[in-house]
A and B are shown apart, each in its own frame.
Chain A
Amino acid sequence: MSFPHRHLLGIEQLKPHEITAILDLADTYVDLNRRAAKHSDALAGLTQINMFFENSTRTQASFELAGKRLGADVMNMAMQASSIKKGETLIDTAMTLNAMHPDLLVVRHPHSGAMDLLSQKVNYAVLNAGDGKHEHPTQALLDALTIRRAKGRLHRLNIAICGDIAHSRVARSNLFLLGKMENRIRLVGPPTLVPSQFAEFGAEVYDDMHEGLKDVDVVMMLRLQKERMDGGFIPSEREYYHRYGLDADKLAQAKPDAIVMHPGPMNRGVEIDGTIADDINRSVIQEQVEMGVAVRMAAMDLLAQNLRADRQAAAG
């Protein structure tokens, strides 16, 4: 089995060849998604529940579309308005869902490690759609696929991840993934948002963005997570934009063919200049969204294959 996992909880648990397996399968789904008839029956008969304890538009839509294109029955549960408010614990919610026999559960939760807890208690496949400040594996996979298609390879690249690293699960998953694929990673941002401990993982930490972007192949911008800021990480948005916002001047430090990425949603004029975000010669932000659907189809397909194999084995 090229992908021996029951759940997709994070990139940390994956081996390089397993990452490659997901990306290779995702490439075929990119082709499928570009056709007029986009349907496959890889998940036919299976039930996918999207359970989001945090607001999400694009990730939830991407997972929903991915599931539907593969023929799953997809249900969305907006949990902010739901039983959690009535005091039900995460485990109880998971057990309740368990009794409804879903096959794939896509979860986003505001606390790091919530999926590790949940996955111990259930007999369906859990996909992490973001847990607190910990991991967002499908985002890292779609970033990897985007880079691989734009650069022709996913190793020995200089990649700068810029901005609010401290509060970012995207940064952590990317750090794992790009590190496993043997790239040089730089983390760029003010010291209040880039914990120095990250240097211990082999990343280079820069607080000067001009220096940090010098000769990089990929510039990965992160959203300034305003909703996570409980005060005082930066003096103001305008000073942040001046020092750490991606503009033409700073981007000129990177290689001439460097690509610009952003997981969205963007704060134009805070972390990125709008004209760069829209520059089709530099920005691959739209491609990232496209790759997102394909990567999620691939991940769910692989997990569903394992789920079916497990059940067949259990049935004897």
Chain B
Amino acid sequence: MTTLFTNARLIDPEAGTDTPGGLIVSQGRITAVFPGGADAAKELPGHGLSPDEVAEVDCSGMCLAPGIVDIGVKVCEPGERHKESYKSAGLAAAAGGVTTMVTRPDTSPAIDSPETLEFVTRRAQADAPVNVLPMAALTKGREGREMTEIGFLMDAGAVAFSDCDHVVANTKVFTRALAYAKSCGALVVAHPQEPILSKGAAATAGKFAALYGLPAVSPMAERMGLDRDIALLEMTGAKYHADQITTARALPALERAKANGLDITAGTSIHHLTLNELDVSGYRTFFKVKPPLRSEEDRLAVVEAVRTGLIDIISSMHTPQDEESKRLPFEESAAGAVALETLLPAALRLYHAGQLDLPALWRAMSLNPARRLGLESGRLAAGAPADLVLFDPDAPFVLDRFQLKSKSQNTPFDTQRMQGRVLSTYVAGEPVYRRT
């Protein structure tokens, strides 16, 4: 079966282009990319084949881009399936244009053994309509004491190793884990934070936190954490990704590390790109994320760093929390927000604000994360997997959190005006979501 996507606006992050054209998809892969408008397909060999052999998808001038590769999605299996299962997360991902979820191991229990990893892989394969690639914990129980069986876990399919928001505070343990991971060729995903300075913080130190009497952490804690990790990379030469860089102060260190040739990449979350500390006003716990939302100056600096490519990757940092864990006083409430379905429209805020063009956004959401994990996806090129998202970048809507497909609906974008909707999502050429 061959599918012909015609009359599309192709968003090609590799070439950095946003041009009219179409695709031919066969056996789960893109077999050809062609330029031009509605009639361009007629010139192609194979045009005019019977409808039994070729299905045509007329994109009506809408955007066709590689599916999003989202590093750092939390699915709450094992342990808290009532918050999010592979089924609900998979449906949310498909509806959000995310074709590959790279899942986090910060479940309870943590995904820190090949047996647990096999369990979640099985659950994912059975229930999720999109690709699921699991990360595993770097240390047992994410306790920062003993490293996990990195080799066995890689054999079982772990694509990266992370203790998520638990910083490995013991520098000796972290150094050994980095050195060992390097010998396995494993990618370590870390959360750069000075753990003692940031302990107990619910907000970023600044005018807002001072006024509202919230325990706060200086934005400097992120730079200190990153500085430490960079020093350890110089020692070990490990392959490293900082999960979220959210402050201006951390950027020069990142830039120097890259210039010095270290194997380092950095990500940021969609919330830190589109919201700031003032959004928390009124103690709205749906805006409590980790690290906490930053100042507007930090936000703008991070947006600019994504534009220049200094920050490589945008993630949803999808973190489901039920109502009970959010309906508490701000300090006591759980951190995190669901974002699989809001990642794309939130990212388009940056496009509509004229800060990032669509190829730059897709470079950060699709091409770079795929490259960092050694995947073939994230591109619009012959031979690449046909993981695709078709979206209308302009369609306005008001977000109603109860319409989300996630089991948890803790989104900070509830009742907000957004622009841009996913029309359909394809994984290996097969539709996994169609907006009705």
In terms of DSSP, what is the predominant structure of the interface of chain B? loop
Q: How many A-B residue pairs have CB under 8 A?
A: 56
Alpha-carbon separation in the docked complex, A195 to B327 (Å): 29
- Whether A114 lies near B329 (C-beta < 8 A) is yes
Whether A134 contacts B212 in the complex (CB less than 8 A), given A116-B282, A197-B206, comes out as yes
Query: Which chain B residues in 196-225 approach chain A with CB under 8 Å?
Result: 205-207, 209-214
With a 10 A CB-CB cut-off, give which of A111, A132, A195, A197 has the most chain B CB atoms: A111
Query: Which chain A residues in 81-140 approach chain B with CB under 8 Å?
Result: 89-91, 109, 111-114, 116-117, 131-135
Indicate which residue in B209, B327, B330 contacts A91 across the interface (CB closer than 8 Å).
Answer: B327
The smallest beta-carbon distance between A95 and chain B, in angstroms, is: 11
Indicate which residue in A91, A112, A169, A195 contacts B283 across the interface (CB closer than 8 Å).
Answer: A112
Q: Is B328 an interface residue (CB 8 A)?
A: yes
Indicate which residue in A90, A169, A201 contacts B328 across the interface (CB closer than 8 Å).
Answer: A90
Q: Is A172 an interface residue (CB 8 A)?
A: yes
- Whether B328 lies near A198 (C-beta < 8 A) is no
Alpha-carbon separation in the docked complex, A198 to B329 (Å): 23
Q: List residues of chain A with CB within 8 A of the CB of B330.
A: 111-113
- Whether A111 lies near B331 (C-beta < 8 A) is yes
Q: What per-residue 1/0 map shows which CB atoms of A162-203 lie under 8 Å from chain B? A: 000000010010000000000000000000000101101100
Whether A132 contacts B282 in the complex (CB less than 8 A), given A89-B324, A197-B207, comes out as no
Alpha-carbon separation in the docked complex, A117 to B283 (Å): 8
Whether A172 contacts B331 in the complex (CB less than 8 A), given A116-B283, A117-B283, A197-B205, comes out as no
Q: Is B394 an interface residue (CB 8 A)?
A: no
- Whether B331 lies near A132 (C-beta < 8 A) is yes
Closest to B216 in A: A195
Indicate which residue in B207, B212, B282 contacts A200 across the interface (CB closer than 8 Å).
Answer: B207
Query: Which chain B residues in 202-253 approach chain A with CB under 8 Å?
Result: 205-207, 209-214
- Whether A172 lies near B211 (C-beta < 8 A) is yes
- Whether B211 lies near A113 (C-beta < 8 A) is no
Alpha-carbon separation in the docked complex, A178 to B404 (Å): 46
Q: Is B332 an interface residue (CB 8 A)?
A: yes
With a 10 A CB-CB cut-off, give which of B209, B282, B327 has the most chain A CB atoms: B327
Alpha-carbon separation in the docked complex, A169 to B328 (Å): 20
Q: Which 9 A-B pairs have the closest CB atoms?
A: A133-B213, A113-B283, A111-B329, A134-B213, A112-B213, A197-B210, A114-B329, A200-B207, A113-B330
